[in-house]
Amino acid sequence: MNLAHKLIKGHLASGNMAPGEEIAIRVDQTLTQDATGTLSYLQFEATGVDRVRTQLSVSYIDHNMLQADFRNADDHAYLQDIAAKYGIYFSRPGNGICHQVHLERFAVPGTTLVGSDSHTPTCGGIGALAIGAGGLDVAIAMAGSPYYMRMPKVMGVELTGRLRPGVTAKDIILEVLRRLTVKGGVGYILEYFGPGVAGLDVPARSTITNMGAELGATTSLFPSDERTREYLQRQGREPAYRPLAPDRGAEYDAKMTIDLDTLEPLIACPDSPDAVKRVSEVAGTPVDQVAVGSCTNSSYVDLMEVVAILKGHAVHPRVSTTLSPGSRQVLQMIARNGALADLVASGARILESACGPCAGIGQVPAHGAVSLRSFNRNFPGRSGDPNNHVYLASPAVCAASAITGVITDPRPYAEAVKVSLPERFLVDDSGIIPPAKDPASVEVRRGPNIKPIPTREPLPGRIEGEVLIKLGDNISTDHILPAGAQTLALRSNVPAISEFVFRYLDKDFVQRAKAKGGGVIVAGANYGQGSSREHAAISPMFLGVSAIVAKSFARIHRDNLVNYGVLPLAFADESDYGRVEMAHVLRIEGLTRLVESSAELVPVTDATAGLTFQAKLELTERQRRILLAGGLLRYVGQTSIAPKVSF
Ligand code: MIC
Ligand code: SF4
């Protein structure tokens, strides 16, 4: 057996482990962050369960940290009270980015972790089966439900050789993205194995599993070995170690090999994480902003590498250079060892331990600017504005380019740089507040911006509506509902945030949807890639969108659509995509009967074009029942997990 199969088998609650079949796995740990957390906990409260039923649940504040008005702070207070009341650990604002802190302080090899953030697979770097999901799926997992998914295939990624100076883990995942593209991982777990694995420490492995999210993969996984033990021991958590490996000669559904000896520094060009080139191909491009940090590359080792390159240099006058440490642990360590002083001396700007510029929460680049980031996503508008050009590369490329002012191959700078794990990480868990001892006494503060979540009625028998927008391939959730400080302050207020749907693609969309009383969205392949934000499903639903007809869907987004009662339909014959145009009226009759009877094909009539085409309804039996009920919360209200749900 490969390692992914072993971990799934050890947690299997129901189902048959054949690729594509619905399985359910027991959830040991959950994590949430503040941008998805408020909805998730509102839903958790609706289940009526009085205490989380997981081994460990942690609520992080790391996204909405600007506090430009009262709303973010209100969300923080709500999340802190909920955590105290329901048995959840609370990681305070300033304590760090959820994935980085979870890796440092909580992740355990061989456990399952489900998180309301698409980069939850970060902890796959320590050998946990870590999966990103919508907030509602996390809410019911906290209430004791297993996590349901289709059994993925497993792709073995064999690493051979050793990285050369100036070439890093970021280049490994960029190489995987170059080969597979942003939809190449859909339906797969990527399992890394082979002799090259031993040369990578846990933070490097986690960079790779983190950015596996950009492949659309269910998750990515490394074995748990001596390097894992070493990391845990230096975090003062050695008892959490257990060795985990695939069986000798384990089989994989697909395989690829990457020779680390021959890898070069790579860079993802605007506007997609898979637009990968060699750094040498774009070297010399002038850069206006360099930003190091994010859950992909903000570990102690990453930052020390940056310091080693920057030390003794000044950042170029045209470049605004920022650095966000991934955690308070990292920040304290670089403060104590003097590296922070070197950074400040170089002219770099030090930001909080938080997501920051990664999701456009501050540091929005200038109009037309080139921004080089050690982050994981560069979809249009992701930086907080669509009028700039974002490149993604390793911290080493970022540091070298900050010095020269142009995209620069870091190898000449990195030759002498050798950073390894510290003998001991600085352990100070005072930023993590344990749950209250007397939960009954906790009064939950709810700010006026925290609004109830709209729900849908049970599935209607008939859908008729205009095509409100026709989109191409790889539409990300950043396209559907943009990132940025303005929208992030509205995460707890669905009516308000819904005003931003498709803002950068079609500024009239919201008006049109309202005027038409809702309708249908038509899209190409991999619709909804990227973030796990449920808002990208709830807000269109709130505007009356009843179905999405696409060539294919990204995993988390499809689940979110079903969870909120929006019908995800896939063109049975992709050439029909070319026939359905904007403003055509689409009609589906006998819908409840089709969904109930497990029909796999649904006839869709395009009344304007005068044709009928077939659309695939690729849903499990459970998802059909969820759709019929009008969404997951109504559905669980009918089951034993959540007897008290009422809407
Ligand atoms: C992201 O990186 O896109 C986010 C912001 O962390 C999201 C979650 C969100 O939208 O709140 C994610 O990755 O799931
Ligand atoms: Fe935060 Fe960026 Fe990571 Fe999302 S990808 S969790 S916004 S650091």
Q: What is the mean pLDDT of residues 477-483?
A: 96
User: In the predicted model, is pLDDT for residue 128 greater than 90?
Assistant: yes
User: What is the average per-residue pLDDT within 497-525?
Assistant: 97
- Ligand 1 contact, 57 CB (< 6 A): no
Q: What's the pLDDT score for residue 642?
A: 41
**Catalytic residue status for 62:** yes
Contact at 8 Å (CB) between 203 and 302? yes
The DSSP result for 222-243, as a single string, is --B-HHHHHHHHHTT-GGG---
Residues with CB under 6 A from ligand 2: 63, 97, 117, 119, 294-295, 355, 358-359, 376
Give the residue carrying structure tokens 């329901």: 86
Contact assessment for residue 325 and residue 334, using Cβ atoms and an 8 Å cutoff: yes
Q: Which two tokens stand for residue 222?
A: 């490394």
pLDDT at 196 over 70: yes
Closest protein CA for atom 9 of ligand 1: 533
Nearest ligand, CA of residue 478?
Answer: 1
Q: Same CATH topology for 3-259 and 270-414?
A: yes
Report how far residue 213's alpha carbon sits from residue 273's, in angstroms, rounded to the nearest whole number: 10
Q: How far is the CA of 68 from the centre of ligand 1 (A)?
A: 20
Q: What is the mean pLDDT of residues 608-622?
A: 97
Active site residue 428: no
* DSSP letters for 257-303: EEEGGG---EEEPTT-TT-EEEHHHHTT-B-SEEEE-TTTS-SHHHH
Contact 185, 217 (CB under 8 A): yes
Catalytic residue among 5, 11, 63, 71: 63
Comparing CA positions, the residue from 376, 237, 225 lying closest to residue 302 is 376
pLDDT of residue 582: 98
Whether pLDDT at 643 is above 50 = no
User: Minimal CA–CA distance to 440: which of 180, 85, 179?
Assistant: 85
CB of 359 shorter than 6 A to ligand 1:
yes
**What is the distance between the alpha carbons of residues 359 and 357, in angstroms, rounded to a whole number?**
5
Confidence band, pLDDT 50/70/90 cuts, at residue 639: low
Reply yes or no on whether 531 is catalytic: yes
Contacts of 515 (CB under 8 A, 6+ apart): none
pLDDT confidence of residue 470: 98
Q: In the numeric block, which tokens belong to residue 492?
A: 């707890």
If DSSP codes are grouped into helix, strand and coil, which group holds residue 519?
strand
Kindly give the distance from the C-alpha atom of residue 122 to the centroid of ligand 1, in angstroms, as a whole number: 13
Is 26 known to be catalytic?
no
Pairing of strands 254-259, 153-160: parallel
Residue 467 pLDDT? 98
Residue from 603, 599, 591 nearest 628 by CA: 591
Query: Quick one: pLDDT at residue 259?
Result: 98
Pocket test for ligand 1, best of 41, 63, 64, 117 (most atoms within 8 A of CB): 117
Q: Which atom of ligand 2 lies at the shortest distance from residue 358's CA?
A: 2
Average pLDDT, the chain: 96
What per-residue confidence (pLDDT) applies to 414?
Answer: 87
Number of CB atoms found within 10 A of residue 101's CB = 27
Q: Bridge partners of 469?
A: 521
Q: Catalytic pick from 533, 535, 555, 634?
A: 533
Is the bond into 288 cis (omega within 30 degrees of 0)?
A: no
Token readout for 396 is: 């080493």
**What digits encode the pLDDT tens for the residues 254-263?**
999 999 999 9
Domain 463-638 grouped into CATH 3.90.550.10: no
Domain residue spans in the chain? 3-259, 270-414, 463-638
Exactly one of 34, 117, 201, 302 is catalytic; name it: 117
- The rounded Å distance from CA 531 to ligand 1 centre is 4
Span from the CA of 316 to the centroid of ligand 1 (angstroms): 31
Question: With a 6 A CB cut-off, is 297 part of the ligand 1 pocket?
Answer: no
CB atoms within 10 A of CB 420: 9
Q: Are 566 and 548 in contact (CB under 8 A)?
A: yes
pLDDT exceeds cutoff 70 at 341:
yes
The string of pLDDT tens digits covering residues 46-96 is: 999 999 999 999 999 999 999 999 999 999 999 999 999 999 999 999 999
Residue 563 near residue 148 (C-beta atoms within 8 A)? no
Whether residue 293 is predicted with pLDDT greater than 60 in this model: the reply is yes
Confidence at residue 645, expressed as pLDDT on a 0 to 100 scale = 41
The tens digit of pLDDT for each residue in 298-337 reads 999 999 999 999 999 999 999 999 999 999 999 999 999 9
Fold classification of 3-259 is Aconitase; domain 3 (3.30.499)
Mean pLDDT of 146-175: 98
Q: For residue 379, which ligand has an atom nearest its CA?
A: 1
**CB 329 within 8 Å of CB 427:** yes
Per-residue pLDDT, 417: 82
Class assignment of domain 270-414?
A: alpha beta
377 catalytic? Reply is yes
pLDDT at 575 over 50: yes
119: Cβ below 6 Å to ligand 1?
yes
Give the Cβ contact number of residue 225 at 10 Å: 17
Percent of the chain whose predicted confidence (pLDDT) is above 70: 99
